[in-house]
Amino acid sequence: MSSQDIQGQGGSNPGFTPRIFSGIQPSGGMTLGNYLGALKRFAEKQDQGIETIYCVVDLHAITVWQDPEKLRHQTREITAAYLASGIDPARSIIFNQSQVTGHAELAWIFNCVARIGWMYRMTQFKDKTAGKNAENSSLGLLAYPSLMAADILLYHTTGVPVGEDQKQHLELTRDIAAKFNHDYGVNFFPITEPLIEGTATRVMSLRDGTKKMSKSDPSDASRINLTDDADTIAKKIRKATTDPNPLPETVEGLKDRPEAKNLVNIYAALAGISAEAVIREFAGAQFGTFKPRLADLAVAKLSPITEAMNRYMQDPAEIDRILGEGAGRADAIASPILAKTKEIVGMIGSRGR
């Protein structure tokens, strides 16, 4: 379902205000994948007449130990990336999660709604504890999908922009909402819709087209960082892994060519066109022709973002002001929803909450 459908019909949630929520964890190293798969799309949502709330999910970051100073720096860096990518704090709400206490409060209620078996089935938990002693992992690492559900449902979110690898978390959110509504005989929480759309929602490694572009990859050449300068961006694209064949006549010809498909998708997403349009322009071209064009495009699109991020990072007080103002606006939406949740559950609010 498209965001336009959600705007016009409430999706599968008639009666709820159309509202988008999403967040990025401040674990450092924003990449081209973050920009194309998230930030660029976040900014575009502002033009679709839907209320947009974008969060830096610092509570999620501490499921593994974080150096406090590094966490503060990375929280500001994510915020700078939001702003540099065109997310306007006047049109969207931008804040860091820990400043709105309702996230943690609702997460506890959802901990008591969700089932332990649901958590153990989450792919990311299994991946992060594979080959290790799971008993030594933090409880937060197991339970954080419940916090993610709280992040979304605290705002009665109707749509979440997600990548394919995040669909399982949203399914869990939908399960928790449905179980809460069923257990208490209410229609209080929406069944949030995933918004999966556009080209290059999943950007792959420049070294291996079968693996997602990741800040955790030991090879810096595998990714384009939003902090890379123009020369570094161009160099990484020129050295990106490809095959010896020219670009095909049709998109179907990319099926078994993951590196070629990845570069075509990146070009399409940066240019704001379809992969089919890229193939029409470059069909039969060798990568010696295509890569310089892609490098020029990437530099033209990303260098202004890098420069803007650097400017924002030179004024941390302004970033903190934006986060604080956004937290106040977020709390104004969240507090009545949390208060009603507590009332439904049977908790007494003797202080007007």
Which residues does the annotation mark as catalytic? 128, 212, 215
Is the dihedral angle over the CA atoms 4, 278, 163, 46 positive or is it negative?
A: negative
Residue showing tokens 């693996």: 211
**SS3 of the chain: helix, strand, coil, percent, to 5:** 55, 5, 35
Query: How far, in Å, CA of 349 to CA of 270, rounded?
Result: 50
The span from the CA of 296 to the CA of 301, in Å, is 9
∠ Cα 56 57 61 (to 5°): 125
Token pair, residue 175, equals 């399960």
H-type helices in 211-315, by residue range? Answer: 230-238, 258-271, 275-282, 287-313
For 168, other C-beta atoms within 10 Å of its C-beta total: 15
Q: Rounded to whole angstroms, what are the CA distances from 260 to 103, 266, 312, 316? A: 42, 10, 35, 40
